[in-house]
Amino acid sequence: MLRALNATSSSSFSKLFVSHSTLLCFFHLSISSNSKKMEEHRTPSAVQTNIESRSGRQSASLSKSSLKTKVGQSSSLSPSRRSRSPQSVESQRMQTSPKRAIGASQEKSPGSESEEGPFDICIPAIKGLVKLNKSILVLNREKRKELKCPAEQYLRPGMVLLKKFLGHMDQVKIVNKCRELGIGSGGFYRPGYRDGAKLHLQMMCLGKDWNPESRLYDKSRSFDGAVPPEIPEELRKLVDRALNTSHKFLRELAENVEEIPNMSPDICVVNFYSNSGRLGLHQDRDESEESLKKGLPVVSFSIGDSAEFLYSDVRDVDKAKKVMLESGDVLIFGGHARHIFHGVPCIKPNTAPEILVDETTKLRPGRLNLTFRQY
């Protein structure tokens, strides 16, 4: 099949193929007790070095392929609902001391000043200043930019990246919605693991609460009793559209390409990474046995600054592939890719679209990520 795919890729289909091998894994646990690997996961700087050394090779392989470009997405987002999703509970983190687990130190990361109060992903407006609406000129300029490069990329069986799938206006609406929910009840907080180590991000759950300490879903949060907001209907629609696009893309890609199952999200984990935020390699595997068995996909929205995203069959950064997730990208991994190890080793500062950081939206430096799943 791979050969068939590659043949197709160099033909007029011109889709992008990045990696290959499959292997099932799931959420945040599963331990490889190889001491080399353990060390890699414990030392963020080592992780970073490994990534840099691989990046040349990766981007070369990307640039060889051409992308099939598809245009045409926009939708409107409107208010109401909340929830949360699971993250990365590195298995060894739960078993070893905080300092040894990647991404787990007691240090406060910039942007986490909200540990004492609700975290606002946007810079609050200065009192007395009138908030301006975006001018038609700005909106048109953004529209032209976003039409330039939507495309789908086939990363491996079960894994598809929809480049710039979310239009700028959808991104603005998502930021506004996440901001509103994030400062309310059940909103952003800085989660910790069982051993007391803090994650390097702010998190909020929609639909169901995911507890990084117990790695269980619940109706309410154990630490303050708050009930996660529902997932806003507008977000569910975007997920639906992204899944439909990926299905169509895979159907047209080649014969016998593994389909990604459909799903209806009832959980969304919303993360906000400051520029020093990160997330160690982990699997998403706390959803129901049935959901995992069926390979119901995780649908991930990236908004704001770009991030490096690692994925691998094994929990080893040296073996991981890397892809850059930019604002508006939607990554989908289901089927045989549902159990991949994945993580975010770093955020790329000052890469967010202007429209998100300008005077009207004022997203903080950093990256907003929403991962939707079906329990």
Residue 202 contacts ligand SIN per CB under 6 A:
no
Residue with nearest beta carbon to Mn ion: 284
Q: Is residue 284 at the binding interface for Mn ion, with CB under 5 A as the rule? A: yes
Q: At what angle do helices 233-253 and 168-182 cross, to 10 degrees?
A: 140
CB 279 within 8 A of CB 41: no
Among 50, 112, 369, 374, binds ligand SIN (CB under 6 A): 369
User: Cα-flanking dihedrals φ and ψ of residue 60, to 5°?
Assistant: -60, -45
Say whether residue 9 binds ligand SIN (CB under 6 A).
no
Instruction: Answer for the pair 99, 47: CB distance below 8 angstroms, yes or no.
Output: no
Helix and strand totals (H; E) in the chain: 9, 15
If one asks whether residue 361 binds ligand SIN (CB under 6 A), the answer comes out as no
Nearest approach, Cβ of 269 to ligand SIN (angstroms)? 6
Please state, in angstroms and rounded to a whole number, the distance separating the CA atoms of residues 282 and 336.
Answer: 16
**Residue 342 contacts ligand SIN per CB under 6 A:** yes
Residue 308 binds Mn ion, judged by CB under 5 A = no
The reply on whether position 230 binds Mn ion by CB under 5 A is no
Q: Which neighbouring-strand residues pair with 346?
A: 308
Binding flag, residue 317, ligand SIN (CB under 6 A): no
For residue 282, say whether it is annotated as part of any ligand binding site: yes
Rounded distance between C-alpha atoms, residue 375 and residue 290, angstroms: 8
Paired with 347 in beta bridges are: 307
User: Minimum distance from CB of 313 to ligand SIN (Å)?
Assistant: 16
Q: Which stretch binds Mn ion (CB under 5 A): 47-55, 93-101, 164-172, 281-289?
A: 281-289
User: Residue 308 and residue 11: Cα distance in Å, rounded?
Assistant: 29
CA nearest to 37, candidates 106, 103, 105, 102: 102
Q: Which of residues 96-135 bind Mn ion (CB under 5 A)?
A: none
Which residues ranging from 268 to 297 are in contact with ligand SIN (CB under 6 A)? 269, 271, 279
Residue 254 CB, nearest approach to ligand SIN (Å): 27
Residues forming contacts to ligand SIN in the complex (CB under 6 A) are 87-88, 269, 271, 279, 300, 309, 325, 342, 344, 369, 371
